[in-house]
Amino acid sequence: MMMRKSLFAATAMMVGLGAAPAFAQAQDWKAEYKKTLDAANQEGELIMQSQPNQQAREFLQREWPKAFPNIKLSMSVIQSPQFAARIRTERAADKYLWDFALSGFTISYAMGHEGILDPVLDSMIDPELKKPETWTGGWEGAFLDVTKKYVFATSRFIAGPWYDALKIDPKKVEKDKIKILLDPDYKGKIVWQDPSIQGAGTAPAYMLRKMLGDDGLKTLVTDQKVTMVAQQNQVVEALARGTQWIGIGPPVRPLMAPFVQAGVKTDIRPFGNGPEVNMESIGGSTLFIFNKRPHPNVTKIFVNWFLSKDVQSEFAKAIQQDSRRSDVPSVADSDQTPLPKTEYMHTQREEDVDPVDEAVRLVGEWRRQAK
């Protein structure tokens, strides 16, 4: 009875303060959410394309059934070029089989221009999600496509190379910074997730070209005998086993947990947290939503669930990458926390596609020359 009286008093106070419209709006969106959830339970399934990050997939496979036990989550992990080709082939045959993707961003830009995607904001029911101030950088930061409609970055962190402090003196890294990649002492001791394969190693090609210049990047590729690998776990394993001392591409330290738990002694560190050795990254957690999707209501429920403060907080911890939500605390270690009021180079927005592709092309050309 006391709780009911308190609720009545609070409501009366809001009305007295002229807050009735806001209160009515809150009730309206909750009613819309309930109606959407009822329809979603009838649809009963969600079909998504996911990123290769195992921690991200395991989080969704674990937490979604807890929140929505009546809705099956069907998740696939397909290489971006193959997935794009598949989508186009299916749609040419009037088959619309996918709801959305929470994965890499590169294929999404063309899809936005081809009329394959729906605006992300259209799936946001919670008014908190529709406020640009909820997201670091506002809509300009959160949307990666030039139209600011279709490709939504849910994560934001800084990313650069990693090194093994058991093998390389941290004072030397602090002194030489990115140019340590060109030090002959580390010839044959650098591993890079192949930038020609869309993934974590692609954007660093552009970053390193900007930081080292063409001559420096060419020296890295042709003289330093960099080991190119196809998958991010190969970079991590090479540093864990000590066969390589510097890793380029994936966030090595957060992915080192299985080796640490197995008793492997490591001291993997970033080159620092300044803009001279890092780019701003959005990882593989970009959201884009297909039009004519088979489960439109479930998709809306997923978007509002996944982008909520509580879920974003736990997801950030699971993948060790900061959420773009401005009200979610950083999970980054102090040596990976962006410096305040500091601009970092972008490499993953739609306008960066051409310079990234050119950097990747040059790396490939120089690799062929070095053989």
Give pLDDT tens digits for 133-166: 999 999 999 999 999 999 999 999 999 999 999 9
Identify the weakest region by mean pLDDT among 30-39, 45-54, 216-225. Answer: 45-54
* Tens digits of residue pLDDT in 174-211: 999 999 999 999 999 999 999 999 888 999 999 999 99
Q: Quote the domain boundaries for residue 239.
A: 161-270+345-370
Q: Is there a single domain that holds both residue 227 and residue 359? A: yes
- Regarding whether 179 and 115 lie in a shared domain, the answer is no
Judge if 119 and 234 occupy the same domain: no
Q: Which two tokens stand for residue 319?
A: 């993948």
In terms of domains, do 324 and 356 share one?
no
Q: For 33-37, what is the mean pLDDT? A: 97
Pairing outcome for strands 152-153 and 157-159? unpaired
Do 249 and 305 sit in the same domain of this protein?
no
Residue 197 shares a structural domain with residue 229: yes
> DSSP of 29-70, one letter per residue?
HHHHHHHHHHHHHHH-EEEEEE-S-HHHHHHHHHHHHHH-TT
Q: How many CA atoms lie within 13 A of 253 on its CB side?
A: 19
β partners of residue 46: 73
In a domain, 9, yes or no: no
Percent with pLDDT over 70 in the chain: 93
- As a whole number, mean pLDDT of residues 115-128 equals 98
How high is the mean pLDDT of the chain? 92
276 domain residue, yes or no: no
Residue 53 has pLDDT above 60, yes or no: yes
- My answer on whether 166 and 152 are in the same domain is no
Tokens 């993997």: give the residue: 268
Q: Do residue 358 and residue 240 come from a single domain?
A: yes
Residue in 196, 192, 176 with CA at minimum distance from that of residue 184: 176
C-beta of residue 275 within 8 angstroms of C-beta of residue 219:
no
Please state whether beta strands 190-193 and 72-76 pair in parallel, antiparallel, or not at all (unpaired): unpaired
Instruction: Flag the least confident range among 131-140, 289-298, 302-311, 327-336.
Output: 327-336
Q: How do residues 212-240 score in pLDDT, each as one tens digit?
A: 999 999 999 999 999 999 999 999 999 99
Tell me the sheet residues that pair with 333: none
pLDDT digits (tens, 9 = 90+) for 314-340: 999 998 889 999 999 999 888 888 898
For residue 24, the cross-strand partners are: none
CATH of the domain at 250: 3.40.190.10
pLDDT for the residue 371: 77
pLDDT in tens, 83-94: 999 999 999 999
* Burial status of residue 274 (CB atoms within 10 A of its CB: 0-12, 13-18, 19 or more): middle
Three-state SS at 88: helix
The answer to whether residues 132 and 223 belong to one domain is: no
The 8-class DSSP code of residue 325 comes to: B
Instruction: Please give the pLDDT value at position 284.
Output: 83
CA separation for the pair 217, 226 (Å, rounded):
11
Tokens of 263: 């008793």
Verify that 58 and 107 share a domain, yes or no. yes
Same domain (yes/no): 291, 266: no
- State yes or no: pLDDT of 12 exceeds 70: no
Q: Are residues 221 and 357 in the same domain?
A: yes
